[in-house]
């Protein structure tokens, strides 16, 4: 599909700069990469909202745990053990 898009001079300069850097072969590659990144961000945000809803539902059912220094210490210990054992990181804790 062909689309015609009007860009501000600043955006046009940004895209040209990306192409000039050699990382992208042309403006289309820059735009496609930007769209892929937006799609990935939308997926991360949707997963975040789902996780929040899951937590809210658990809390509403009385399944919550008080956040205390002891709980934080347990979480930290568990994460440290997992990290040193070579286990894959839980995607919920990745940035």
pTM, whole model, 2 decimals?
A: 0.68
Q: What is the pLDDT of residue 90?
A: 74
Q: What is the pLDDT of residue 80?
A: 86
Mean pLDDT of the chain: 91
Q: Give alpha helix (H) positions in the chain.
A: 9-20, 27-60, 69-85
Rounded to an integer, what distance in angstroms lies between the CA atom of residue 42 and that of residue 83? 28
User: 31 and 15 in contact (C-beta within 8 Å)?
Assistant: yes
Q: 73-93: per-residue pLDDT in tens?
A: 998 898 888 888 987 877 766
Rounded to an integer, what distance in angstroms lies between the CA atom of residue 49 and that of residue 1? 32
- Does the pLDDT value for residue 95 go beyond 70? no
Count of Cβ atoms closer than 10 Å to residue 46 Cβ: 10
Q: 50-74: per-residue pLDDT in tens?
A: 999 999 999 999 998 888 999 999 9
User: 32 and 26 in contact (C-beta within 8 Å)?
Assistant: no
């Amino acid at each position: 599909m062909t689309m015609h898009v009007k860009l501000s001079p600043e955006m046009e300069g940004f895209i040209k700069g990306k192409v000039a850097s050699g990382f992208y072969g042309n403006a289309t590659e820059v735009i496609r990469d930007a769209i892929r990144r937006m799609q990935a961000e939308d997926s991360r945000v949707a997963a975040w909202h789902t996780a929040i809803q899951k937590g809210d539902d658990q809390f509403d059912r009385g399944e919550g745990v008080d956040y205390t220094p002891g709980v934080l210490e347990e979480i930290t210990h568990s994460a440290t053990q997992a990290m040193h054992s070579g286990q894959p990181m839980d995607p919920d804790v990745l940035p």
